[in-house]
Amino acid sequence: MKNSKITRKITQGMYILTTVGGGCIVDAVARVGGTEQPLIAVSVSKTNHSHKLLADNDRFALSVLGKEADPELIQTFGFKSSKDVDKCKSCEIEEVEGVPVVKKTIGYMVMEKVDTIDTDTHTVYVGKMIEGDILSDDEPMTYAYYQEHKDDLTKVKTEDNKTAWICTVCGYVYYGDEVPEDYKCPLCGLGKSYFKKKED
């Protein structure tokens, strides 16, 4: 493949997916049908802990990130695992239809899960929107904008005198002297060769 980074030119939006137990940052979201209660599809990596949470719950929400989003939201929902951290305690959350939604966003959509589509690396969850609201008029953040401004948005720093290694595809950060040979990114599933050392 000559350059897989061409996918960064697909300018879909950036969202915080939440369900009972946690959530993550997602970008592969699409409206796939419906009128008053539209069908919304979201693709989630099987290596992501939120994949298990979605499999175990009947409802999920998507909060729309704006260009002025608090970088802490991206750090928390993008670079930490719900297995280790209660992400909803670090930001303002409102419960809607039994699902946590993030308040400091453009708005939210709450879905009732109606179908799943299995692929090699991801599962596409299809939901029927049962509630939604607009919370601000900010301009939505696109995937292309995120890739262009990722360093500013994530503000990665070393921890405990360890080096930060950044996945060049999804932005996940691994801390350690070296990335292990058999390491797989927990967000996108790619290996050590895709990690680049964060320069001071």
- pLDDT value of residue 60: 97
Query: What is the Cα–Cα distance from 51 to 32, expressed in whole angstroms?
Result: 20
Range 4-22 burial, b when 16+ CB lie within 10 A, else e: eeeeeeeeebbbbbbbbbb
81 pLDDT more than 60: yes
State yes or no: pLDDT of 200 exceeds 60: no
Phi then psi for residue 126, to 5 deg, are -110, 130
What residue type is 146 in one-letter code?
Y
Per-residue confidence at 17, pLDDT binned at 50, 70, 90? Answer: very high
Q: Is residue 31 over pLDDT 60? A: yes
92-96, 151-155, 193-197: range with lowest mean pLDDT: 151-155
Higher pLDDT, 84 or 148: 148
Beta bridge partners of 17: 24, 62
36 vs 120, higher pLDDT: 120
Higher-scoring residue by pLDDT: 2, 12: 12
| pLDDT for residue 158 | 46
Q: Above 80 in pLDDT, residue 154?
A: no
Q: What is the pLDDT of residue 7?
A: 63
Question: CB under 8 Å to 9, separation ≥6 — which residues?
Answer: 144
pLDDT value for 130: 94
Confidence of residue 161 (pLDDT cuts 50, 70, 90): low
* Cβ(192)–Cβ(183) below 8 Å: yes
Task: Check pLDDT > 60 for residue 36.
Answer: yes
Q: What is the dihedral of CA 49, 110, 70, 91, to 10 degrees?
A: -70
**pTM above threshold 0.85:** no
Pick the residue with more confidence: 58 or 77?
A: 58
pLDDT over 80 (residue 187): no
Q: Which carries the bigger pLDDT value, residue 52 or residue 72?
A: 52
pLDDT at 33 over 90: no
- Average pLDDT taken over every residue of the chain: 86
83: which residues sit within 8 A by CB, 6+ positions away?
A: 49
Give the 3-state secondary structure of residue 55.
Answer: helix
